[in-house]
Each structure stands twice: as structure tokens, then as C-alpha cells.
A and B are shown apart, each in its own frame.
Chain A
């Protein structure tokens, strides 16, 4: 099993550009989520999904879109990047009724918006 994979590892964007951060898991987990990590802020939940076709907002959803067409993939879209979106982004997946020891994080995408 590859676990949770994220691409790209690094990305530099200009203000106003759009891009998609990819996340995939091969553990057949129904629950997937996106977090951002900023200095002094910890990890904050952006969006999550409890299964294909179902998504919901987390703490900091503004500026991001998600969709879940398959169990395996959960892409995060930035429609018009802003410097405030400079951060490290983590995707995670787990079994819906599993404990926290079933939650796995990807290695992260470091995004810089100039």
C-alpha cells in the first residue's frame, strides 16, 4: 500500500493563478480531509468528505473548492491564489468510524503564493 499520496511536493504560484493539489489513498477509506499548517496556527481543517459525492466545509474553507468523485481521490482546488494561502497542505484519510490510529496523513504540499 502506498497510503496517502500528495502531488506536487512543492509549488510556487503567482497571485491570481489557479491550481489543484492532488490527494489519493489506496486504503479504501471513506473519510478524507484537507488541512493547512501555518506557523503558530497548528493544523486547521479546510474541507472534508465522508464518501464519494459528499463534501463539507471545515474551519477555513474560503478560497478552496473540493470534489469527491471517487473513493480514492480528493483534490483541493485554489481558484485564484492569494499570498494568504501560502502554507503547507496535508491530506488525510481514515475509516469513518475508526479511531484516530486509523487516520493517515500524506507527506504534504508546500505552496508559496507570490
Chain B
């Protein structure tokens, strides 16, 4: 049973427009969420995170929104650039401790069209 779901396997967006990637989770014990970005033939790299005590976290062009009541988070990329074309994974965990484990979603492939 997928505890973290990314229901859109792919997304295409024009350069300069906003990209919105969505993620839903089922386990109410999750309280720390993050996004990873993955290029082909490379490992995932950390992009941005959010704790459940916040509803928004911003880092440059990237903003993550968290709606705890809906168990939903989204990643906004504004403006989108061709270099943002990659697979994006959301992940969730319980309160970070020394051995905290991430549960990953299935990924969304973003293609930014020039």
C-alpha cells in the first residue's frame, strides 16, 4: 500500500510558466516532507523540505506547500526552466531522529519545453 502517492507520472510545462507537482500521503504520523530531483543516470539530489509545523517553505524558485488536513503537499517551480526537466520524488518521514526513514512517492517526470 503506497503511503506516499504522486498521481501524475508526467507533466509538461512551457519555459517561464509555473510547474506544480503534487503529492498525497495517507499516514498521519508523517510530519516531515521533502522533495528530491533526479536526472537520468544520476542519483536523487535533495531539493527542498518542510516540517508539519509550517504550511509553506520557499527557496528561490522553489516553494513547497503543505496542507495537513488534506494530507497533500505540492511543489511549485516559478519560473520553470529547461534545466528543471527531471524526475521529482516527494518523500515523507516521522519526526527526524538518528534513524529516520523516508517513504518515497513514485515520482513525476517534469519536462520544461523551451
Q: Is the CB of B41 within 8 A of A108?
A: yes
Q: Is the CB of A4 within 8 A of B43?
A: yes
Q: Is the CB of B43 within 8 A of A105?
A: yes
B27 CB, min distance to chain A CBs, angstroms: 13
**Chain B residue with minimal CB distance to A51?**
B98
Per-residue CB contact flags for chain B residues 33-65 toward chain A (1 = under 8 Å, else 0) read 010000001111110010000000000000000
B50 CB, min distance to chain A CBs, angstroms: 11
Is A53 part of the binding interface, using a Cβ–Cβ cutoff of 8 Å?
Answer: no
Is B86 part of the binding interface, using a Cβ–Cβ cutoff of 8 Å?
Answer: no
Give the residues from 89 to 107 in chain B that come closer than 8 angstroms, CB to CB, to chain A: 89, 91, 96-99, 101-107
Q: Is the CB of B104 within 8 A of A96?
A: no
Chain B interface category by residue count: 20 to 34
Taking CB atoms, residues of chain B closer than 8 Å to A2 are none
Q: Is the CB of A100 within 8 A of B104?
A: no
Taking CB atoms, residues of chain B closer than 8 Å to A97 are 96-98
Q: Is the CB of B43 within 8 A of A108?
A: yes
Number of interface residues of A (CB under 8 A): 27
B15 CB, min distance to chain A CBs, angstroms: 27
Task: Using known A-B contacts A100-B46, A105-B45, determine if residue A43 contacts B96 with beta carbons closer than 8 Å.
Answer: no
Work out how many contacts link A and B, with CB atoms closer than 8 A. 60
Taking CB atoms, residues of chain B closer than 8 Å to A96 are 98-99
Give the residues from 86 to 114 in chain A that come closer than 8 angstroms, CB to CB, to chain B: 90, 92, 96-97, 99-101, 103-108
A113 CB, min distance to chain B CBs, angstroms: 20
Residues of B near any A CB (own CB < 8 A): 2, 4, 6, 32, 34, 41-46, 49, 89, 91, 96-99, 101-107
A sample of 16 more A-B contacts (CB under 8 A), given A31-B98, A43-B89, A92-B43, is A31-B99, A35-B104, A42-B106, A43-B91, A43-B104, A45-B101, A45-B102, A58-B101, A59-B103, A90-B44, A96-B98, A97-B98, A99-B49, A99-B96, A100-B46, A108-B42
Residues of A near any B CB (own CB < 8 A): 4, 31, 35, 40-45, 48, 50, 56, 58-59, 90, 92, 96-97, 99-101, 103-108
